[in-house]
Amino acid sequence: MRGPHNIIRLVRTLATFERTGAINLLLEALDAPPRLRFVARVLGWPFKWLGLKGDPALPPATRALTALGPAYIKFGQILSTRPDVVGDDLALQLQYLQDKLPPFPLSVAKEMVAAELGVPVDQVFSTFSEPVAAASIAQVHRARMLDTGADVAVKVLRPGIERAFRKDIDAFYFAAGIIEFLSPASRRLRPMEVVKHFDGVVQGELDLRLESAAAGEFAANTEKDEGFQVPKPVWHLSGRTVLTMDWAEGVNMADNAAIDAAGVDRNVLASRVLQLFLQHALRDGYFHADMHQGNLKVAANGNIIAYDFGIMGRLDEYTRRVYAEILYGFIRRDYRRVAEVHFEAGYVPADRDIDEFARALRVVGEPIFGMDANRISMARLLAYLFEVTERFGMETRTELILLQRTMVVVEGVARSLNPQINIWQDARPVVESYIKDNIGPKALLRDLQKTAMVLARFGPKLPRLVETQLARQNRPMGEPVNKAALHPLIWIALGAVIALSGVVLGQTL
């Protein structure tokens, strides 16, 4: 379905922005260059009649994005957390997209719940409210369980949402293909891979069984995190289109007035949001990847409540170490080490000059550190870093896309709570703690132990492997030894030694 018919959808996108009056607002907010503004107006204005009308009661940008569909709404949700990028007025308009979209009827929701659970709603819940929140993919109802009397949140997918998202994603794939065809230089950024990555993320969000599993795992990981709580899923009342979770009472993270009225220190809250995200990403390698204000609440005791676990990020241990070292290098202003990490990880081609790369990184970092606290921005750092790595031939790392995007969103949330927050100052203790525990002699011993334990599992097979390799060495007298064939024997012997040492290491750690 990714054929040329998607041209119509892309033209309609520009036409919708033109018709709703949002195109100038967005181009100015994003500080688009004159050439891009000209192209957008030329492609949008003649086809204005093709644009979707949307809800005239909504502000222009919100009106355009809601009319275009769920993928565009997701884009608007991200922008709503970045007033420093799009301006306070536009960010305030876009906050509507987080959980205030038009709901679908209560009767339809009850029908979907009954169909998913296999029993009528009134046989499971004693009460089932009108929607309390409606977002791009699903809406939430407050209900009370008939058997226990406990209050729960019941999340129900929007009818037909899978088809609607499929149309948007197909158009994105088509656009990425056109970009790669017309601009060979863009292939380094792998736009098709980027769209494929987010396609997979979205497909996971459309199956609420996966969200139930994500909520359970995230709750287990963060159970001991001070000032943070995750509602747990009610497994027997959840399925592909319905998710039931414990009810969490709190005020929306975007409502600064309500937070102040509750007596919660927003400065402390801002630091906690940032530090908790980094802890989850570095310590657990599993983090909430959709942490905008619409998915966060503040409890009466000041705890942060997270929900909506449709988009989660996962990082393997090696990538976490690389990311931490890059952050730590910038924090310490050790640009040579940042450059070395890029080369060691294979992010930058080995034939490039590491000293030149380190100098370029200094150009990225120093202006950031010279700014006032309220102007220090992770988003700005990532933008500068992108320019430098592009010049040195670094390809887009799809495994880091979600992490980088979420880091930008989390910074936006923190800055909305405390505009004066110093991102580096709050990030430093988390990153330093991770570095201390995971990079150095202690980490080396743990790595050796893990390696030894893996090799030890092959212990019963070692005699047979040795015999097999020795049999292959049977040769006529005087024939030279096949040194290449002895390599497996060397590795087997080394493995046995490491396996034995692993026992000792296991006792000393």
**Range with the poorest average pLDDT among 19-28, 33-42, 222-231, 274-283:** 33-42
Higher per-residue pLDDT: 43 or 285: 285
Residues 6+ apart with CB under 8 A from 36: 27
Share of the chain above pLDDT 90, in %: 29
Of 225, 290, 308, 426, catalytic: 290
Residue 205, both tokens: 């969000």
Residue 147: φ, ψ to 5°: -80, -35
Residue 65 near residue 76 (C-beta atoms within 8 A): yes
pLDDT mean over 476-502: 50
Mean per-residue pLDDT of the chain: 79
Annotated active-site residue 246? The verdict is: no
Secondary structure (3-state) at 125: strand
Higher per-residue pLDDT: 197 or 423: 423
**Range with the poorest average pLDDT among 56-60, 149-153, 423-427, 450-454:** 450-454
The separation between the first and the last C-alpha atoms of the chain, rounded to the nearest angstrom, is: 56
- According to the model, what pLDDT value does residue 199 have? 76
Distances (CA, A) of 194 to 14, 176, 285, 323: 22, 9, 20, 19
Q: Is the pLDDT of residue 7 over 80?
A: no
Can you tell me the distance from the alpha carbon of 39 to that of 318, in angstroms, rounded to the nearest whole number?
A: 43
Q: Is the pLDDT of residue 147 over 80?
A: yes
DSSP 394: P
Q: Please, which pLDDT band fits residue 509 given cuts at 50, 70 and 90?
A: very low
Please return the burial class of 87, using the count of CB atoms within 10 Å of its CB with bins 0-12, 13-18 and 19+: middle
Residue 215, both tokens: 């909520």
- According to the model, what pLDDT value does residue 503 have? 46
In the numeric block, the tokens 């809250």 are attached to 269
pLDDT mean over 65-78: 77
Residue 264, both tokens: 């919660």
- The reported pTM is 0.71
Q: Is the pLDDT of residue 342 over 80?
A: yes
**Range with the poorest average pLDDT among 106-110, 116-120, 426-430:** 426-430
Say how many CA atoms lie within 13 Å of 229 toward its Cβ.
17
Share of the chain above pLDDT 70, in %: 70
- According to the model, what pLDDT value does residue 302 have? 92
Secondary structure (3-state) at 298: strand
- According to the model, what pLDDT value does residue 4 have? 61
Greatest pairwise CA separation for the chain in angstroms: 94
**Range with the poorest average pLDDT among 124-138, 263-277, 428-442:** 428-442
Amino acid residing at 384: Y
Q: Is the pLDDT of residue 53 over 50?
A: yes
- According to the model, what pLDDT value does residue 234 have? 95
Say how many CA atoms lie within 13 Å of 361 toward its Cβ.
25
Distances (CA, A) of 355 to 152, 342, 364: 57, 12, 14
Residue 241 near residue 116 (C-beta atoms within 8 A): yes
Domain boundaries, the chain: 6-99, 162-203, 250-439, 442-508
Residues 6+ apart with CB under 8 A from 224: none
Q: pLDDT tens-digit profile of 376-416? A: 666 666 667 767 777 787 766 666 667 777 887 888 889 88
Residue 411: φ, ψ to 5°: -60, -40
- According to the model, what pLDDT value does residue 84 have? 54
Q: Is the pLDDT of residue 457 over 50?
A: yes
